[in-house]
Amino acid sequence: MKFWLPLVCLAAVAVASVTPLVPHPADRPNAEGDAGTMSPPLPSTDAHPGVVPSLAAALNIMESPSPGTEGDVGMMSPPLPGTSAHPEVVPSLAATLNIMESPSLGTEGDTGTISPPLPGTDAHPEVVPSLAAALNVTESPSLGTEVATGPASTHPSLTEPEGPPEDAGTPTSGTTATPMPVTTEGPTSAPGTTAPLCPGDEEPAEACGAPTGAQTAAVAEALSTFALRFYQRMAEAAEPDSNLLFSPINVALGLSHLLLGARGETRERLAAVLAYPPELPCVHRSLRQLTKSPGLLSASQIFHHKELHLTARFLNESRRFYEARPRVLSGNESLDLLHINKWVREATQGRLPRLLDELPPDPRLVLLSAVYFQGKWKTPFQAKDTMPQPFRRPGRPPVLIPTMMSKKYPVASFSEPSLRAQVGRLQLSQGLSLVVVLPQGAPGALGELERALSPAAFLALLHKAAAVPPRATVLALPRFRLDLSQDVVAVIHEMDYGLFLDAELCGLARGQAVAVDTAQHRAVLALDEAGVEAAGAMATSLARTAHVLEALRPFLFVLWDDARGFPLFMGRLSDPQP
């Protein structure tokens, strides 16, 4: 990393080392006493005895000397009031204007100045013009010699003329987030080019007030559609006998966060993947409201390359809508993994000690999400009734697994002939339920059920399960704990191929094309006998019944929010072995 320090002493040394340019003899009637020579100091000046600075050197230009004039006429006047001239350098016009002087003429790597371009200049965003260019000073034609300026600098610009200034990590007021380390390097553009405007920058930020009930209901319905589509792509890519688990609300949270920086076609396609209606304004507050489900520890975060400077607008909206502050990767994989896994532990209150074991080479943008749920039944199971039962698996022999048993457990159950499935809803605490969809027939029938479900049929099934009252049921349900990770990018490519391959994410960061390297999601769901009510509460409230629900073969399940109507988790249990 290079830091350009505006030190006057360095500039003086550079001036002393410049090889004098030899003007054409015809243009120099009087060569003696020319500015920049070793003539004695002028009266009232306290110049360094070895270097007599001139106006030409101060302005980084070569002046044509006046015929018959000895010395530099530009240095005869004393310092103007308010200037703070270095005692060894007579103040120049540049110092009077409080503009940083160019280190030297013809010095390699000369950037001219690190101050912003003056009005009216057409400075390249990556190379700030020198004082001579900024003041539009014309070189004297009488010299007949071009002034050497050195190669153009590739030092990154400190300003962005095309839009709002970039935020390299400085927090704004109104947030308690931990400040992100400030980086001084940014992406560089090719010489002679400027970064194009990002579509949508001229539009005001989304005005999101408190979400209405209709907006929240629309986002909840979109989550159900997204959940089924995402699950079906997971199931297609997975082995038939594998377990599946993900949190639709958590994955949608991370992708909707990314939606803040998406533009053009990428924004439209990503919103379509998330099943957000085009006419639905500002989904972010409604989505955040839905994540505040009891018992759910959910977090999503963006980690980015240290040279990827996120825009101020994206940073502000991240804090505003998601209470998140994207974090910078150091480039050291071991250190970055340490920080990422520490974030996961803190976000899940220690339930998930680790998320990643490795990172892709030189990652630019990493999306991470983690969610943990420890469910408690509204009516607990009796631990003494849990016993081994055979669980049938397709293509393999049955396996004995611990099974929670009850002869009179409250279950809202019904049969769905169109899907050839039995549906049961078991109430959890705080308005949540576990909906089990058990295919009828051979153990391999689950795959047919997964393919037959449409978003409309899936949503209708879940709403029906929420409306059916519970009845006393003979129940056998495996005790299980699932802990699974998923590459979200791979699934999204199955839903909309190429969405992240050439994504328009200029609203997130400028410069080089921003690519999503990885999006890792980890979900943990644990269900055992524990409940929140007394063990004997249901014994006096249920009548005799012959309803039976035995989930002893592969089944699909949804952890459902009864009050707001959306899925927190979705998955399948094909092999409940611990």
Topology (CATH level 3) of domain 383-482+527-573: Alpha-1-antitrypsin; domain 1 (2.30.39)
Residue 424 parent element (H or E): strand 421-427
* 353's tokens: 């000690």
Q: Report the CATH superfamily, name and number, of domain 213-375+483-525.
A: Antithrombin, subunit I, domain 2 (3.30.497.10)
Residue 330 to residue 326: CA distance in whole angstroms: 13
Structure tokens at 210: 């408190």
Give the pLDDT of residue 531.
63
- Residue 28: other Cβ atoms inside 10 A: 17
Look at residues 479, 469, 441 and name the one whose alpha carbon lies nearest to residue 545.
469
Quick one: CA torsion of 235, 240, 243, 248, rounded to 10 degrees? Answer: 10
pLDDT in tens, the chain (578 residues): 333 333 333 333 333 333 344 444 444 444 344 444 444 444 444 444 444 444 344 334 344 444 444 444 344 444 444 444 444 443 443 333 343 444 443 444 444 444 444 444 444 444 344 434 434 433 444 333 333 333 333 333 333 333 333 333 333 333 333 333 333 333 333 334 445 578 776 777 667 778 889 999 999 999 999 999 999 999 999 998 899 999 999 999 999 999 999 998 999 999 999 999 988 878 999 998 898 877 777 778 899 988 888 999 999 999 999 888 899 999 999 999 999 999 888 888 888 888 888 888 888 888 888 888 877 899 999 999 999 999 998 888 899 999 999 999 999 999 999 999 999 999 998 889 999 999 988 767 899 999 999 999 999 999 999 999 999 999 999 998 898 988 898 999 999 988 887 788 989 988 767 778 888 898 888 888 886 443 333 333 344 446 899 999 999 999 999 989 999 999 999 988 75
331 Rama class: left (phi>0) / alpha (psi -120 to 50) / beta:
left
pLDDT at 332: 92
Beta-bridge partner residues of 411: 471
Tokens coding 168: 């390299």
What is d(CA 298, CA 374) in angstroms, rounded to the nearest whole number? Answer: 12
Count Cβ atoms below 10 Å from residue 463 Cβ, excluding itself: 12
Q: In whole angstroms, what is the distance from residue 243 CA to residue 225 CA?
A: 21
CA distance 228 to 216: 19
The whole-angstrom separation of Cα 236 and Cα 451 is: 9
Q: Which of 165, 164, 161 is nearest to 123 (CA)?
A: 161
Q: Among all chains, which residue has been given the structure tokens 């639905």? A: 280
* Distance of alpha carbon 506 from the chain centroid: 12
Strands of 184-311 (E only): list them.
Answer: 244-246, 296-304
CA dihedral 269, 372, 410, 231 (to 10 degrees): 30
Dig out the tokens for 331 from the structure: 């480039």
Q: Record the pTM.
A: 0.65
Tokens at 569, concatenated: 């988790």
- Write b or e for each residue in 484-500: b if 16 or more Cβ atoms lie within 10 A of its Cβ, otherwise e: bebebbebbeebeeebb
| 240 alpha carbon, distance to own chain's centre | 34
Delimit the CATH 3.30.497.10 region(s) of the chain: 213-375+483-525
Query: What dihedral do alpha carbons 471, 474, 479, 483 form, nearest 10°?
Result: -50
Q: pLDDT value at position 293?
A: 77
Could you tell me if 196 and 134 are in contact, meaning their C-beta atoms sit under 8 angstroms apart? no
CATH 2.30.39.10 domain position(s) in the chain: 383-482+527-573
Copy the structure tokens of residue 253. Answer: 């949270």
Other beta carbons within 10 angstroms of residue 479's beta carbon come to 17
The pLDDT value recorded for residue 351 is 83
Yes or no: say if 42 and 49 are a contact pair by the CB < 8 Å rule: no
Are residues 517 and 360 in contact, defined by beta-carbon separation less than 8 angstroms? yes
Contact 352, 344 (CB under 8 A): yes
Torsion angle in degrees (nearest 10) through CA of 42, 43, 48, 54: -40
Task: Tell the burial category of 334 from Cβ atoms under 10 Å away from its Cβ (0-12, 13-18, 19+).
Answer: exposed
Half-sphere exposure (CA, 13 Å, Cβ side) for 187? 21
Name the phi and psi angles at 149, rounded to 5: -115, -10
Burial class (CB in 10 A: 0-12, 13-18, 19+), 59: buried
| CA–CA separation, 273 and 230 (whole Å) | 9
In 3D, which of 106, 113, 78 has the Cα closest to residue 8? 113
For 5-32, what is the HEC assignment? Answer: CCCHHHHHHHHHCCCCCCCCHHHCCCCC
CB 49 within 8 A of CB 40: no
Interaxial angle between packed helices 248-259 and 312-322, expressed in degrees from 0 to 180 and rounded to the nearest 10: 150
CB burial string 93-126: b at 16+ within 10 A, e below: bbbeeebbbbbbbebeebbbbebebbeeeebbbb
445's enclosing H/E stretch is helix 445-452
* Cα–Cα distance measured from residue 57 to residue 52, given in angstroms and rounded to the nearest whole number: 10
**What was the pLDDT predicted at 480?**
87
Q: What does the DSSP assignment read for 321-361?
A: HH----EE--S-HHHHHHHHHHHHHHHTTTS---S-S---S
pLDDT of the residue at 467: 93
Tokens 């230009």 -> residue = 61
| DSSP assignment of 505-568 | -TTTB-SSPP---EEEEEEEEEE-S-BSS-TTGGGGT-----EEEE--S-EEEEEEETTTTEEE
Looking up tokens 């005790």, which residue turns up? 479
3-state helix, strand, coil in the chain (%, to 5): 25, 20, 55
Are the CB atoms for 326 and 318 separated by under 8 Å?
yes
